[in-house]
Amino acid sequence: MLRRRGRVLIQMLSSPSASTSSPLHRLISATRPQVNARSSILSSPRRLLSGATAPVVSPNPSFAVEEYLVSTCGLTRPQALKASPKLAHLRSAANPDAVLAFLAGRGLSGADVAALVAKDPKFLCAGVDKGLSPIVAGLSGLGLSDPEMARLLSLAPHKFRCRSIVAKLHYYLPLFGGSLEKLLRAINFNTNLLCCKRRVEPNVAFLRECGLGDGDIAKLCSSIPRMVTANMERVRTMVALTEGLGVPRGSGMFRHALSAVAFLDEKKITAKVDHLKKTVGWSDAEDYWLQHQRKVGHKL
């Protein structure tokens, strides 16, 4: 009996006509897609990666950064070629477009935007709502107009996208007598004024101790841009060299003498002083500065 059932089963499995209609074949066929699907997935890594657990792919993986910089931002081809590696992570124009709209709203021209992006390509990655807009609100609170912000943006875009810029301008404006024009002129000479707070504030405090007023210090920021951002020991050395010339702290010519010896070493100063003694008969340092600053002060 068992042998007969086995023969029947074998015939059912081997017979084409029976295999297409028998319940057993239908059962086997119903289970085959699961096996075949599994083997198909295993045989094709691409299918496996395209399944439900696949990582999210950028909606526009072919975003051409270099072309965007040229066609939309106005950069030259060499500028775009240089800037594009810094933006290689971008996969769409969504954030750059938002930044460009923000810049246009601040009154920057196409040429201004091109210059800004060439100087600081990563500005296109800045957040508008959570980054740039709060900064603009803070600067507006300090009294800056849109054109003034546009100038600041053009001078130091990489500093502008840091929220600390608001606190730094709040510190500098009183030092420059409330004149943004003078402050922007100093920033144009030395953008490090916006990033060296740990050096600037101690140096300014020390220069005040030397008898210099805020107006004098502001002038030093413009005439000797690195003065207040230099190492404190270097500033102390400059003051000592100035006093060594016979120009005491608190005197009317102290700022001019300090400006003249800034970043010169003692040997160079000695050589120049010896030369001046021979050529103009200099015997008293402060009298010399008072009488000849306009004529020969630049020789130092």
pLDDT in tens, 225-274: 888 999 999 899 889 888 887 888 988 888 988 888 776 656 666 666 66
Cα–Cα distance for residue pair 138/141, rounded to 1 Å: 5
* Below-50 pLDDT ranges, the chain: 1-3, 5-59, 285-286, 289-290, 292-300
Which pLDDT belongs to residue 259? 85
Each as own residue / partner, the long-range contacts of residues 56-60 (CB below 8 Å, 24 or more positions apart, any chain) are 58/91, 58/92, 59/91, 59/92, 60/91, 60/92
Cα–Cα distance for residue pair 98/103, rounded to 1 Å: 9
Query: What is each CA distance from 9 to 6, 26, 27, 28, 151, in whole angstroms?
Result: 5, 14, 14, 13, 90
Which pLDDT belongs to residue 224? 85
107 in a domain, yes or no? yes
Which pLDDT belongs to residue 76? 96
Supply the range of the domain harboring residue 99.
61-162
97 in a domain, yes or no? yes
124 in a domain, yes or no? yes
Which pLDDT belongs to residue 61? 55
195 in a domain, yes or no? no
Q: Following DSSP, what letter does each residue of 285-300 receive, concatenated?
A: HHHHHHHHHHHHGGG-
Which pLDDT belongs to residue 281? 59
40 in a domain, yes or no? no
68 in a domain, yes or no? yes
Which pLDDT belongs to residue 124? 96
- Of 261, 279, 216, 218, nearest to 292 by C-alpha is 279
Contacts of 256 (CB under 8 A, 6+ apart): 289, 293, 297
Which pLDDT belongs to residue 261? 79
Q: How many domains does the chain have?
A: 1
Which pLDDT belongs to residue 86? 94
163 in Cβ contact with 134 (< 8 Å): yes
| Burial zone of 126 (CB within 10 Å; 0-12 exposed, 13-18 middle, 19+ buried) | buried
Which pLDDT belongs to residue 139? 96
170 in a domain, yes or no? no
105 in a domain, yes or no? yes
Which pLDDT belongs to residue 284? 54
Cα 51 versus chain centre, distance = 40
